[in-house]
Amino acid sequence: MTLPVRRPGRALALLTAKARATADLGAASWPDRLAQDLHDLDADWRESAEVCADVAWTARAAGHSVLDLLPPAQVTAAGPDPVTTRTFRHLYLSALRFDFRCPTLQALVEQLPDTALRSLDCYSRALYAFALLGQSRPAGLTVMDEVLAEAGEHDKTLHVLLHGLWLGQDLDQGTQRLLALSARPAFAPGTDPIVLFRRAGALRRLGRYDDGLAALDRALDLLPPGDIAVHADLVRERSLICAARDLHQRLPARAFGGTPT
């Protein structure tokens, strides 16, 4: 199958590449098929990120994670061409991110040859920043700022950084940075349930429980029907906010010898 490589029709071609990759995830060849399609399209890093992040998530949810199909050596080695190399890295690093395997993701990137590290695309560097941020490593903030300077309002990249800030618990001004990032123009409509979910967690850490609940209730309203896993995360966060608010309300009574109600 030959995919169109010029606009108009490029967006459709990328959707077709994504659909072809996810049509038969039980076949071990789907990463190679996707790499070939993106190569034929001469996809840039933004387009590769858009497709690979979604495909890696879908494959993981279907029980066919790319982590079971690609050896790490294939991700760190140079492929037959830059697009293919980048496709495998985007798929594999995204899968590690979805599994919260921050140390493994960090180690894999740091195993790349110096030439590959110096030329690493913006989205791969965002995934590296995620790994560092998720471990509350200050270096992650530096990498994040470098990525933001290049990424602009590319929402997939911003989501990766937002995820890292949400996961890291001991970052300098981490919650404030998360709230600032979630207010970027790319997220301006305020209709992304994942962004609202991340905001709710940050607001809980700041003790802004009512604001957190409002963000979470809006996220629940906006979540597509049938997204069971994310729905469970939202409900869990709502329970955490309610528990934290209740504890906060009870503390003054205890401090003054009162009886909790």
12-28: average pLDDT = 95
User: How far is residue 165's CA from residue 104's CA, in Å, rounded to a whole number?
Assistant: 18
- Find all residues with CB under 8 Å of 11, minimum gap 6, and list them: none
User: How far is residue 232's CA from residue 220's CA, in Å, rounded to a whole number?
Assistant: 10
Q: Give residue 254's pLDDT.
A: 52
139-167: average pLDDT = 97
Q: Is the pLDDT of residue 113 over 60?
A: yes
Q: Is the pLDDT of residue 78 over 80?
A: yes
Q: Give residue 252's pLDDT.
A: 65
Q: Is the pLDDT of residue 39 over 90?
A: yes
Helix (H) or strand (E) holding 250: helix 228-255
Q: Is the pLDDT of residue 261 over 50?
A: no
pTM exceeding the 0.85 threshold for the entire prediction: yes
Tokens coding 28 = 């071990």
Average pLDDT, the chain: 92
**Across 5-14, 105-114, 176-185, 222-231, least confident range:** 5-14
Do the Cβ atoms of 89 and 124 come closer than 8 Å?
yes
> Residue 192: phi, psi to the nearest 5?
-95, 115
CA distances from 29 to 22, 33, 119, 257 (A): 11, 6, 27, 66
